[in-house]
Structure 1
Amino acid sequence: MTTKATNIHPVFDRIIGRDEKEQFLNQRARVIWMTGLSGSGKTTIAIGLEKELQKRGFLTQILDGDNIRTGINKNLGFSDEDRTENIRRIAEVSKLFVNCGIITINCFVSPTLAIREQAKEIIGDDDFREVYVNASYEECEKRDVKGLYKKARNGEIKNFTGLDAPFEAPENAFLEIKTADLSIEESVRCLVDAILSDISQA
C-alpha cells in the first residue's frame, strides 16, 4: 500500500494563469476527445484537423494512443486496471496542456462510458468535447490498417475492443462522425465547423 506524500507544495497560484496564456495565443483551449474503435479514423481525422487549425493560426497538440503507449504509458498493458490508469494519465496530461492555453486533440479508443467520464471529471466538463468517430466493427475489420483485427481473430491479441472486450458508444457526444459515410476531408470539415466558434477568442 502506497501513502500520499505530505511534502508537496503546488505553485499554481504563482505561475502565469491560463487566461493570460489564452490571450497570448488568441484562442480558447479545449480537449477534443475522439473515441471509437481501432481503425475508425480517429488519428487520421486528428492529423487533418491539426493541419486545418494551424492554417487558421491555432496552436494544437495531438495525443495518440500508440504514441502515448511508447512513452509515458509504456509500462501499461490492456487489463481493465491498466486501461483505466492509461486514460487517467492522459487526462492529467491533457489538463496541463489546456492550462497552457493549447487545444489538445486526443485519439483514444477509451472504450467505456466510465473511463471517459473519468477523463471528463479530471479535465473539467467545460473543456471536454467528446467526439464519437463511429465505424462499425465490421467496417474497421475490413480496413484493418494495423493488422490488429487479424491478430485478434487469431487469438494473438487478447481483450481486443469490439471482439472480446466491450465498446460502449457515447450517449451524449459533442459530435458524431460516421466515417463509413464520409470521406476524411468531409469528416475533418465537419469537426472544424463544430469547434471553430468554441476555440476562437470572441
Structure 2
Amino acid sequence: MKPIQTAFALLITLSVLNSCKEEPVALSEDFYAVSFVSRGDDLYLRKNQYLETEKIHFVLFIYHDTIFQVDLQEKKPRYSYLKCKPAVLDSLKSMFAVYEKTNLSKQLKDLKENGPKLSCIRDEYFLFRKGDQINFGIFDFMDYYDWYGRRATKEVKLKKYQFPQIYQTIYFGLNSRRWDYVMSNRYYYKEFRIRDFTYIPVK
C-alpha cells in the first residue's frame, strides 16, 4: 500500500474511533406542569358514607420551551401545543418561577396561618422537575386565569403519537402525588373528604 493510501486509511480509522468515544448530548427532561381538577365520582365507603373524589381534567406543561396541553374533559383526550411569541412563553415561566420558591409544606403552613385565598374548596396542583429535584404543591387557578387572559396564542392540535412521551410521567406524577396529599392528614380540606348522608331526625 502506498504511503498516501496508508495515511488516508489511518486517518479514517482514527476518525471512526474518535466518533465512537463521543456520547450523544441528552436533551433536558426538565418540565413545569400544572393540573386542574374537577369533581369526580364519589366512592362508596360504608352505609351512607362516600369519599368525595377529584379527577384531573386539564394538564398544561412547558417542555423543551414549548407549551403543551391536554384536555381530558371529553371521552377522548385532546392533545395540542400553543403556538405563541417568546414573550408569552416567558410570561408563563415567570408565573411558574413564584412556585419554584415554595413547596407543599410551606403552602400548608401559610394556609394554616392565613387561610385560603379563595372561598372555593378545590385545589389545583403543580409538579416541576429540574434535574433530580421534583417539587409538588398547590397551584392558584387565578394565576393561570390572569395569564390566560393576557396570552396571544394559537392552539395546534396533535395526534397522540405526536405528543411528548414525558406527558405520561407528568400525568402519573401529578395524579399519584395529588392522591397522596388528599388522603393524608396534611390535606387542608380533610373534613370535606367524607360525605355523610345519614339522616338525623329533628326532635
TM-score interval for Structure 1 and Structure 2 normalised by the shorter chain: under 0.3
TM-score normalised by L of structure 1: 0.25
Larger strand fraction of residues = 2
Higher RCO (CA < 8 A, seq sep 6+):
1
Rg bigger for which structure?
A: 2
TM-score normalised by L of structure 2: 0.25
